[in-house]
Structure 1
């Protein structure tokens, strides 16, 4: 968790740098017959000439780039048949809410800007949910359904995690610059995810540190929607996944869904 906060602060600092294009201004004096005439050239285009005399190459509205943005750090929570209270079947996932977190970022994007205020882009990134379990249990791998066993161990840390490749389609709206040169952003759209791995991490006096990777019956494919709003590159996000946390017929109940929300950096 400390490493995530350090990454978030480092990214926030790097995102505040602004690149500016330099314009070369050249003042020349041109003599025509007996009259002297002054003209000013800006980036090779002479002011005062007709439009047909100067040719400007329009910049492309398409973009494709590596990036490090939409850095999310927030809380992960669950809706059990529409309720924030877990049912008896899912009570094994009772967690320490403020240590059950969501972290993610995007590293690749391609898009099209229609104008100064509206852009559509498709991105790819990584997304983690870390569930800090309250109960002293072990989630079992290689089971046909999500399963666990009670342990006679006092775990100092008992974490159950999932890691997804996230692919959002974003519709971005932004305002004009304000007096400080900053903008208000609103971004929303659908998102799909593909499971990379599940993981358990347990720390105890009896066993030391134990880690294990498996799919742990997590849904191999998830889909949902997200929204982000902010100012000057910093804001809030919310993400909701419409299908179940666990794969079909591998959860203990149906209609068990994931909701994440928190702070975001970079638009």
Structure 2
């Protein structure tokens, strides 16, 4: 996962540099093709004559035509914290105490790689996209979540894990309603994106590191919900913003003791 985060940061830096280059080029074109009228007073006093002088208009005027679009992308990169919500509470109930986790090391990472949408005007568009989303829970206790069990089950271990991570990966498919304000003098603008999201389970994983066993990885579905439903909102200025996501589906299925346990994530979002 560290390699993935580093790759995201490098790709984002490259895309930001490319976008800045294009922005500079566009501003130059706009400056050379537009004029504005400036009123200049010749002399001092109220009776001084005033004349109109044409000067280049340095403001950037962006107008995007309505229409459909489809393509590969690398955007809406989420880097945040994940929180478990147990029947509306941030405190885990007794039957879920084995999932006690380290809040600042329990994270959510995701990004989109393809999108299809329709732009109504320069300010509003709607699109559906596809990408990937990970929830990485850093467990406090020295336990091992068991594979291939009728319900979510764990065992207490006699060894200490320097890392005990319980994670899920999903294919995410959000439907986004996008609004942006007019651009300011720097070409940046305020934007809001919100909508529903569904996720299709790809895999569950337990990753453990200990002196006795070294690094171990175990893959299974671990009763993670196969089709989850939720909603999201992103708010930002320029390329950076904040996001929040809440899933109305339980985190686990076919495991009655975990009914009502859900996932809430929030953090920074880039490139949206």
Q: Deviations over 1:165-223 (max 9, x none)?
A: 00000000001110111111100000000000000001101111110100000000000
User: Partner of 1:97 in structure 2?
Assistant: 103
The whole-number CA distance in structure 1 between the counterparts of 2:124 and 2:228 is: 27
In structure 1, list runs of 5 or more residues that go unmatched. 26-57
User: Partner of 2:200 in structure 1?
Assistant: 194
TM, length-normalised to structure 2? 0.82
Q: CA deviation at 1:6?
A: 2.1
> Residues 104 and 126 of structure 1 are in contact (CA less than 8 Å); yes or no, is this contact kept in structure 2?
yes
Aligned mate of 1:253, from 244, 255, 258: 258
Q: CA deviation at 1:251?
A: 4.4
User: Partner of 1:228 in structure 2?
Assistant: 234
User: Partner of 1:37 in structure 2?
Assistant: none
1:6 lines up with 2:12 in the alignment: no
Q: CA deviation at 1:59?
A: 5.7
In structure 2, list runs of 5 or more residues that go unmatched. 33-63
Q: Deviations over 1:124-153 (max 9, x none)?
A: 000000100000000001011100000001
| Partner SS state of residue 3, structure 1 | helix
Aligned mate of 1:164, from 149, 164, 170: 170
The whole-number CA distance in structure 2 between the counterparts of 1:218 and 1:2 is: 23
User: Partner of 1:76 in structure 2?
Assistant: 82
- Higher normalized helix content (fraction of residues): 2
1:130 lines up with 2:136 in the alignment: yes
User: Partner of 1:241 in structure 2?
Assistant: 247
Q: CA deviation at 1:258?
A: 0.3
TM, length-normalised to structure 1? 0.83
Q: CA deviation at 1:253?
A: 3.1
- Matched length: 233
Aligned mate of 2:267, from 256, 262, 265: 262
**Which runs of structure 2 are paired with 1:105-116 in the superposition (5 Å)?**
105-116=111-122
The whole-number CA distance in structure 2 between the counterparts of 1:71 and 1:153 is: 36
Q: CA deviation at 1:4?
A: 4.2
> Residues 165 and 195 of structure 1 are in contact (CA less than 8 Å); yes or no, is this contact kept in structure 2?
yes
| Partner SS state of residue 257, structure 2 | coil
**Which runs of structure 2 are paired with 1:15-26 in the superposition (5 Å)?**
15-16=15-16, 17-18=18-19, 19=22
Q: CA deviation at 1:72?
A: 0.4
